[in-house]
Amino acid sequence: MSENISGKTDVNKLGEFGLIDHLTKEFTTNLPTTIKGIGDDAAVIDHGDHVSVVSTDMLVEGIHFDLMYTPLKHLGYKSIVVNISDIYAMNATPQQVTMSIAISSKYSVEALEELYAGVFLACKDYGVDLIGGDTTSSPKGMAISVTAIGRADAKEVVFRSGAKPGDILCVTGNLGAAYLGLQILEREKQIYLSNPGTQPDLENEEYIIGRQLKPMAQKAAVDYFKEKKFQPTAMIDVSDGLASDLFHICKQSGVGAFVEEGKVPLHPDTERMALKFNLDPITCALNGGEDYELLFTIDEKDLEMVKYMPGVFIIGEIIPAQDGIKLHTTGGNIHDLKAQGWNHFKDESNNPKDN
Amino acid sequence: MSENISGKTDVNKLGEFGLIDHLTKEFTTNLPTTIKGIGDDAAVIDHGDHVSVVSTDMLVEGIHFDLMYTPLKHLGYKSIVVNISDIYAMNATPQQVTMSIAISSKYSVEALEELYAGVFLACKDYGVDLIGGDTTSSPKGMAISVTAIGRADAKEVVFRSGAKPGDILCVTGNLGAAYLGLQILEREKQIYLSNPGTQPDLENEEYIIGRQLKPMAQKAAVDYFKEKKFQPTAMIDVSDGLASDLFHICKQSGVGAFVEEGKVPLHPDTERMALKFNLDPITCALNGGEDYELLFTIDEKDLEMVKYMPGVFIIGEIIPAQDGIKLHTTGGNIHDLKAQGWNHFKDESNNPKDN
């Protein structure tokens, strides 16, 4: 492990996931009620005839959000949505949330009312109850911590670890837009900072900016699984980027995967905007993150079910672990897929981590 | 409501509890599984034959802890203990915790290992599983958010709202020491800052400093209630100070109370140190906070039960609301008891809030 000048190890050296693994490696779960601890989108607690799934996230000003371009109402809304997205990723129904905020004295009561208006709206949209929280001061900036609790039948819960070779890889919607939305907002911020008289140029970009500022959790997909009485073999929400999140499924399921580049869904605005930023649209889709779509695998026998599932795209297949994690390009080449998702401890970029 | 120069309302004007009440006043709970939302030590979720109780707290560097005198291992330990204290305050058994931390790059991996060593020890001491969390970066300082989940039979849960006139008021241990521990640590910090060559003078103060740096949650009391098959009519943990926490019980139960000054338990070290700081020991006990003892009321018929309860002190009685909340002094006078507990938005002092 690399050491810095004082002989101590810099947290940057481990990366976010490496750091969590390292810090929690001695923690075992001991209670019979703890079905699943650290390591999935959410933890699972036994209640006899059903289970609770529990997920928690922290959002920090200057790391996960920038109040120069994030309306507080959207921030409140998004704080809830990113957590209940983890609950859906377990194939469970979100029911309760708690929210704690630390704020510096620069925030007025009216600003907090805006934030809570967004929380209220998200709770209403997804039918969850806000049941607790903590409001405290902070010497500087804002931090928000949300814990979401969902409910499911024990046999319905879908982990990251159930994918097997032959399973079909699916995603609930287009990818990359949230990342490009962030690029636009960052660009306009820089323009504004160098010339405060300028009006932001956001026209015609409602879709991609909306994907960044007001993400949706994929309730419809989980409702569909329940209605049609089938379920994925593995599932995760796309918070860090398709590639990074697919790696989690592959690692925990002990499998490989291939992704058909040509089948990765892109919104026309995403393609157009990527080119405007001189970015490869597919790279944005694979590594952008914050789309909060569900990435899941299904058994071949359920293929007919997903063929008619609204908004769902089949993008690849699960293969044996020794065959690796591959991208089949539209040009006919096969590359190793690289997980380049965001790493807070390396670039302090804009991306919350799941669970 | 007071307004500041920009016409916006300063959060300081509402106070911490006023602010939470104000922000969440439009939130109602709608799900049949939500038995209790905001407003007690923890929320309560229905699971048929039993319930979950859920509590969450955020601890912020520079507000709730000062790393100049708080060893990271103690900080990790305390972060867990203050949350499971809320679970015991519902007469439930803590089972699972999640912990999220935001840290700036000044912290090394070794520093985080120390923090987690404390978390690990607290989980072991109280038999709880760490089941999830989030580790992210922060532009400055450290913030820790913990959510604790406990389990109880539905009929065992004790709220703040069940006290009635005639009930006996009890506390599980001595009060005021944690506050004085903080005063010593703050004093030594100031001395060190003005003369960095000085060694801190902490000799013979292990007890009070320990009460501040390594608090205990009152597992034994809750175990006793279960063993003897009786339960309090109302309960809260003393995090903000006896007076402030008694006010919560009185407000939510619609009752008054009197406290016998002479019966409020003080440790000899607390008395001695209070006098050294020119403070009234009883004021420290009534308003100091962070003792994490349980303050509870019992029905008169259970008096024999608490008489033999180890370490428990009977300090007063519940009276009708119209008779107010009173302190019977040792001098024979009767005063109104004032809740002066800490208010983060007024003095940025060192005291976490419950739930």
Residue A7 to residue A5: CA distance in whole angstroms: 5
| Percent of chain A residues topping a pLDDT of 70 | 93
What residues in A contact B120, CB-CB < 8 Å? 26-27
Q: Please determine, for residue B150, whether its predicted confidence score (pLDDT) is greater than 80.
A: yes
**Token pair belonging to A290:** 């914050």
What residues in B contact A128, CB-CB < 8 Å? 31
What residues in A contact B100, CB-CB < 8 Å? 56-58, 145
**Strand B142-152's sheet: what is its strand order?**
B34-36, B43-46, B51-60, B142-152, B93-103, B129-137
Do the chains contact at A20 and B61, CB–CB below 8 Å?
Answer: no
Torsions phi, psi of A354, nearest 5? -80, 160
Which 3 state secondary structure label does DSSP give B290?
A: coil
A15: phi > 0 → left, psi -120 to 50 → alpha, else beta; which?
left
Helix B177-194 to helix B206-213 angle, to the nearest 10 degrees?
100
Of residues B10, B58, B131, nearest to A134 (C-beta):
B58
Do the chains contact at A48 and B43, CB–CB below 8 Å?
Answer: no
Residue A142 to residue A227: CA distance in whole angstroms: 40
Of residues B8, B123, B134, nearest to A110 (C-beta):
B8
CA distances from A320 to A163, A329, B255 (A): 10, 20, 67
What residues in B contact A1, CB-CB < 8 Å? 109
pLDDT at B30: 92
DSSP A263: G
**Token pair belonging to A195:** 């010339």
What residues in A contact B42, CB-CB < 8 Å? 132
pLDDT at B18: 76
Q: Please determine, for residue B182, whether its predicted confidence score (pLDDT) is greater than 70.
A: yes
Do the chains contact at A98 and B43, CB–CB below 8 Å?
Answer: yes
Q: List domains and CATH numbers for chain A.
A: 46-156 (3.30.1330.10), 168-347 (3.90.650.10)
pLDDT at B352: 38
Residue tagged 């979950």 (tokens):
B52
At a CB cut-off of 8 Å and minimum separation 6, what does B272 contact? none
Which 3 state secondary structure label does DSSP give B129?
A: strand
> How many helices and strands in chain A, by DSSP H and E?
11, 13
Do the chains contact at A45 and B96, CB–CB below 8 Å?
Answer: yes
Q: What is the separation of C-alpha B125 from the centre of its chain, rounded to a whole number of angstroms? A: 19
**pTM, whole model, 2 decimals?**
0.91
**Strand A142-152's sheet: what is its strand order?**
A34-36, A43-46, A51-60, A142-152, A93-103, A129-137
Residue B249 to residue B254: CA distance in whole angstroms: 8
Q: Is B219 exposed, middle or buried (0-12, 13-18, 19+ CB in 10 A)?
A: middle
pLDDT at B203: 75
Dump pLDDT digits (tens) for A102-143: 999 888 889 999 999 999 999 999 999 999 988 899 999 999
A39: phi > 0 → left, psi -120 to 50 → alpha, else beta; which?
left
Do the chains contact at B102 and A60, CB–CB below 8 Å?
Answer: yes
Taking CA–CA distances from A41, the nearest residue in chain B reads B132
Do the chains contact at B139 and A103, CB–CB below 8 Å?
Answer: no
Torsions phi, psi of B113, nearest 5? -60, -40
- Distance in Å from the first CA to the final CA of chain A: 26
Q: How far is B83 from chain A (nearest CA, A)?
A: 11
Give the model's confidence band at B106: pLDDT under 50 very low, under 70 low, under 90 confident, else very high: confident
| Percent of chain A residues topping a pLDDT of 90 | 77
Q: Tell me, what's the ipTM?
A: 0.90
Dump pLDDT digits (tens) for B5-25: 457 887 777 766 678 788 888
Dump pLDDT digits (tens) for B50-60: 999 999 999 99
Angle B16-B20-B24 from CA coordinates, rounded to 5°: 170
